[in-house]
Amino acid sequence: MVKVVSWPLLVAICHVAGSPSSWPTSADIGAYDFEIVTPTYCGIDSLFSVNYIGATYATGMKELREANPRLNVTHRNIMNSNATTDCLIQRSNVQDVLARWYYQEKRTNSIPVWITPGCMELDYVNQLAHAWNILLITTVNIDATIRNKALAPTWIATTRYSSNCGEFYKGFLQRNNWTTVATVLDLDLNGPPIFTNLAVTTARHLKEYGYKLTSFIRTAQDPAAITLQIDAILLAVRGTCRVVLYYGTASALRHFLIRATKNDMINENYVYIASRPMPHSLFGSFTWQEGRDDDEIVRAAYRSVILVQVIYADEAQQVQRDKLAFIWKGLSKTSTLRIPRELPLIYLENNHGAFQMLGKMLANLTQSGDFDFSTLKSGRHFAAQFYFKTFHLDHTTISLNGAGVRATTQAIKQLNNDTGEIEIFLIAREKKDYSYEWQTIKSPSWYGNSNFPPNEPFCGFAGLAAVCLEKESHWKGMLTVIIIVIFLVSCALFIATILARVYIARHTLNWWLLNEPILQSVRRRLSSIISKKGSNSSLH
């Protein structure tokens, strides 16, 4: 069981952690000298910085040393002396920092191990780990490169993020026969970088898989400009697809859905697949309920949303996890570093687990008599010791495949329109061959149906499909013929009526059918007859 430990490792953590002269030399240490190094930075732009992860270096080292009391094991955080403050600066500096350590500070006969959460710099870190043959364990971020042992022979991972999130999205899209999609990245300058990682990785791999993909990035920062850019993106989406993979915080998604509503793009034909890395305030609360005037508008829009919880932890060791969380919170309170948000406990579990996993491996090698210095000195051979192994830790279980990659689990959710809650309807469990096992929790409900909409509307995304245009042209032609026929028939009836009236007027004496000229003619004839009769009467 882990106990509360002091906080010596992070008192001055935002400076280069110690000088080479302050660390033991090869003359002071026996043959088995393990030198664990973490390239990191101080900052609050992400949850990967030492500000949030730092407590686990103390607890992890305590566990590792207790499991291997005969070994000399040290750990240090190394970073740029210019007060690194975010992921982008970390990416630009990390190789310089590691090179300085490797050539100037590394102990001569030590067995080096790099343990790091990683941010955007893992490709650079892996390049050096490969070149210098050093075991690399990443605990939060990951990249599909880890699968290729020709490119990443020393890299293993304890992270719960998929090594290729594109594989997961491909599987989910295939389940619903969606082949034409758009990705939308909401690029907030102050937002968490994990969304960029997810969006870029997914887009790259979906293109490799042959999907018809259109990618959009919302870069505007001014509120008015953001609205205009979202409207422009939605207009482009309307003519290209009906399925959107959205990457952004909960508040950004809310704004996007409101604009989609204004643009008449919230209905059963549109699907917005949002991603929530894990439950944490940095990503926001993905719900329609915020006590605002537009809550009902957003609730209606959430009917068109599918929410992917990228990290879904369903282990049973909750008691021990709670104990660790209590310890980490206590240690963080004693830190001088700024920690404005709650701790990302899942990330801390992964990082702590890396030390525990390493400790168990070293203890097993010691007990089995396979503790060979030359093998462990090679990062390639050291990493291979972890392949196809399962480590039962006190707070979780870590199973690695033949590439040293941990299987992951994702949960897929949607709005229950009756209760207003976001509920799980599908769970995806990654297998060791990177395929997925899909577990249906409940049937999905989509605007009263149990099936999601098709990839493309019958008349096409823009309503211009040839089949619909042909039918429309056919009906327009028929309508034109019908109108012409009706017009001709009406004209014929009108002319026939006039001719009939004229005929009747000429051949009948029925007074009610006579028009004024005929009546005048009759009057003249009658007057003439009367005049003649009057003349005859006067002669007699």
Average of pLDDT values for 494-502? 73
DSSP lists the bridge partners of residue 34 as 73, 111
Whole-number percent of the chain with pLDDT over 90: 67
| Amino acid of residue 76 | R
Ranking 56-70, 105-119, 165-179, 357-371 by mean pLDDT, the lowest is 357-371
Confidence of residue 528 (pLDDT cuts 50, 70, 90): low
* Number of helices (H), then strands (E), in the chain: 15, 15
So what's the pLDDT on residue 536?
A: 55
Q: Which CA distances in Å does 6 have to 10, 66, 233, 281, 305? A: 10, 16, 52, 28, 46
Alpha helices in 312-465 (DSSP H): 318-333, 345-368, 373-377, 379-384
Whether residue 24 is predicted with pLDDT greater than 50 in this model: the reply is no
Most confident range, picked from 316-325, 341-350, 472-481? 341-350
* Lowest mean pLDDT across 26-30, 238-242, 356-360, 525-529: 26-30
What would the mean pLDDT of 443-461 be, rounded to a whole number? 87
Task: Grade residue 8 by pLDDT with cuts at 50, 70 and 90.
Answer: very low
Would you say residue 40 has pLDDT above 70? yes
Does residue 502 register a pLDDT over 70?
Answer: no
* Residues 7, 37, 75, 84, Cα dihedral to 10°: -20
CA–CA distance from 340 to each of 102, 236, 408 (Å)? 33, 38, 29
- Mean pLDDT calculated for residue range 25-34: 53
Q: How confident is the model at residue 29 (pLDDT cuts 50, 70, 90)?
A: very low
- 409-415, strands of its sheet edge to edge: 212-218, 180-186, 243-247, 271-276, 305-309, 409-415, 422-430, 436-440
pLDDT, position 83: 66
Q: In what order do the strands lie in the sheet with 33-39?
A: 72-78, 33-39, 111-116, 135-138, 155-157
Q: Cα separation of 329 and 327, whole Å?
A: 5
Is pTM beyond 0.85? Reply is no
Residue 473 is predicted with a pLDDT of 57
Q: Give the contacts of 509 (CB within 8 A, at least 6 positions apart).
A: 522
The yes-or-no verdict on residue 540 having pLDDT over 70 is: no
Looking at residue 11, its pLDDT comes to 37
Q: 122: Cβ–Cβ under 8 A, 6 or more apart, which residues?
A: 138, 141, 142, 143
Q: Is the pLDDT of residue 12 over 50?
A: no
According to the model, what pLDDT value does residue 495 have? 80
Question: In this predicted structure, what is the pLDDT of residue 400?
Answer: 96
370 vs 464: which has the higher pLDDT: 370
**Mean pLDDT, the chain, whole residue set:** 86
Q: Which helix (H) or strand (E) holds 39?
A: strand 33-39
How high is the pLDDT of residue 538?
A: 47
User: Is pLDDT above 80 for 416?
Assistant: yes
Q: For residue 68, give the nearest of 384, 355, 400, 387 by alpha carbon.
A: 355
Taking a C-beta distance cutoff of 8 angstroms, is the pair 116, 138 a contact? yes
Q: State mean pLDDT over 178-205.
A: 90
Q: Span 268-274, mean pLDDT?
A: 97
Confidence at residue 93, expressed as pLDDT on a 0 to 100 scale: 93
The mean pLDDT of 72-79, rounded to a whole number, is: 94
Q: In this predicted model, which residue has the larger pLDDT, 537 or 187? A: 187
Highest average pLDDT, of 22-26, 184-188, 421-425, 457-461, comes from 421-425
pLDDT score at 483: 83
Q: What is the mean pLDDT of residues 188-204?
A: 88
**Does residue 58 have a pLDDT over 90?**
yes
Q: Which of 133-137, 494-498, 513-517 has the lowest mean pLDDT?
A: 513-517
Q: Which residues of 159-174 are buried (b: 16+ CB within 10 A; e: fewer)?
A: bbbbbbbbbbbbbbbe
pLDDT reading at 319 higher than 60: yes
- Give the per-residue pLDDT at 519: 59
**pLDDT tens digits for 375-385?**
889 999 999 99
Helix (H, G, I), strand (E, B) or coil at 468: helix
How much is the pLDDT for 480?
Answer: 76
What per-residue confidence (pLDDT) applies to 478? Answer: 74
Note whether 325 and 291 are within 8 A (CB): no
Q: How confident is the model at residue 14 (pLDDT cuts 50, 70, 90)?
A: very low
Residue 5 has a pLDDT of 33
